[in-house]
Structure 1
Amino acid sequence: MGAGAAALLLAGGGTAYAMDKQVLLDVDGRERVVHTYAATVGEVLDAAGVRLKENDAVAPGLGEEVGRGGAVVVRSARELTVAIDGEEPEAHRVTALTVGEALDQIGLSAEPLELSEERSAPIPEEGLEVTGERARGMVILRDRVRTEVATTEAVVGDVLAENGIDVGAHDIVEPEVDRPAEEGAVIRVVEALGEPETEEVAIEAETEERETDELEKGEERTVREAEDGVKEVTVLPVLEEGEEAERVLEEQVVEEPVDGVVEVGTAEPGQAGSAGGLNWSALAQCESGGDPSAVNAAGGYYGLYQFSPSTWRSAGGTGSPAEASASEQTMRAQKLYEMVGGNWRSQWPECGRHLFD
């Protein structure tokens, strides 16, 4: 006898009487009152012309006595074929009248299933085929609200819509709305409080320090000035943890920063290279009028100290001397002075004497 049928029983039984009595007969949900002298359930069914087939359920049992005002329930066996998640269909013999009752009989009533038929749908005597999908469990986090859901929707956006969450044009959803909705997924929704805005932000340049024994301790010389860069940053005002915050959506570098270089002296006082104590500004005034970008095209000399390209390169310079900073030109001139052992006449025969002004 099926569990569903047994649950429908009304208390019956008692002592049989050799007299006409009313019995409520329920056959597959169709009820009628029969008058009978029958003593047992089997006799009541025979008298009412009800013929049982294999696997049909009867309650009370066929040999049970039926008293006055008793009830007999009959449920015909029928076939329910179930295919879950595209698996091989499985046939079940049930005595349930509806899909929901049948799922209870075959142990699937607790499963989170989305079925091709409503659970209240009747199962005809010729049987019924039902397909279904198991719902996937996942979590939706929206600011401080956590919602556990079970769904058969295929993508994240449909899961949110199914749960009444309308995603705004600038809301942030992770994973994105067109991504698959997978078992155990955590869907985060960050609500936008306005439009994205783009602003320019400085990229701070760094300055490298290089030690040199051409300067005394405590002295510094700038070789290359640091120049900050610029980037465009797009931000979005959002609601996080109940408060307004900003989310960075995109960063794009417009201008790379140029790192600076500063030389730091390491020589003890009085031990720096002899070139450091000379009057280089006086030499520059004589050679170029103090103009770092001076060019003597006729003679092929450049910058404060009128370097030739070859002497500039020999002192470690690159490019044109006239394009280098004044501090670098002075550093290269001092290096050249040391390289020639202080023979200033070989480099600046006319103006070199001003080094000692």
Structure 2
Amino acid sequence: MRPTPRTASTSSSTPVTSRLRGLVVGTAVAALALGLAPGATAQVASSEAADTPERAQVAVRLKVATEPVVRVAVPRRTWPSRLVQAQGVPVDGNDLVEVVRDGREVRGSAKRVRHGDTVRLVDVEKRRTTKRTRVRPGVVEVPTTKLAPGRRKVVRDGRAGVQRVKVVRTLHNGEPERYRVASRTWVRKPQPRRVLVGRQPFSVDGADGLNWGALAGCESGGNPRAVNPAGYYGLYQFNVATWRSVGGSGMPHHASPGEQTYRAKLLYKSRGRSPWPHCGRLL
């Protein structure tokens, strides 16, 4: 049973060392009951068998944050949080009260203390901070046949982005335990650098030497963005089905002129001039 996390940015303002002031007094009577001498554990164990279940006492170890372990005697089946409160140790909504039995942490109904358990109070502090981080702009490369193969041309400079990042650092007994990014929001989104990269024109054996400029001029007036209301697009007036049949994606008139010519060459290789019954004679 863990306390519900609180919303404040730090744990209790009471210093850990001051938590033990009431504990020293509170354990004085318990120390007398235990004797804090060899054989005390056996005495408590025998008293459990003789006493009623409601009043039987068990010996447990109490470990508060980084302070030394203190032995106390409490009624058995006591919830660990009540044990800590009974010793006068302040606990806030962030702190953890754990029970260790035979070297393992226990949970649920088994968390009620038994003889020989160790109850640990972990001082939890949550530190919330906000910072700004720079996000690299990145680079977008666009192949083109308008530049010599391998040549590069920057057509737009990039700009780094900025993010506002809220983080929560959790400390257990003053030691870092967890780092969590709570949220990220854009102050300014990055703008990638755009670079044209020259490449060889698309090549298709048997179709490279034809007069594709003349065909494009006849079909669309040489306009790669041409749209015919009858459902034909681009330099070579592809319809969508034919465009897809030669590997095109999206709309034909959205592709670069070089890709449109390449797809037209593939179409010619499979079907000849027939897709262009009026202008195909110009090839």
TM-score (norm 2): 0.41
Specify the structure having the higher radius of gyration (Cα).
1
User: Which structure is richer in relative contact order (CA contacts within 8 A, separation 6 or more)?
Assistant: 2
**Higher normalized helix content (fraction of residues):** 2
Between Structure 1 and Structure 2, the one with more strand by share is 1
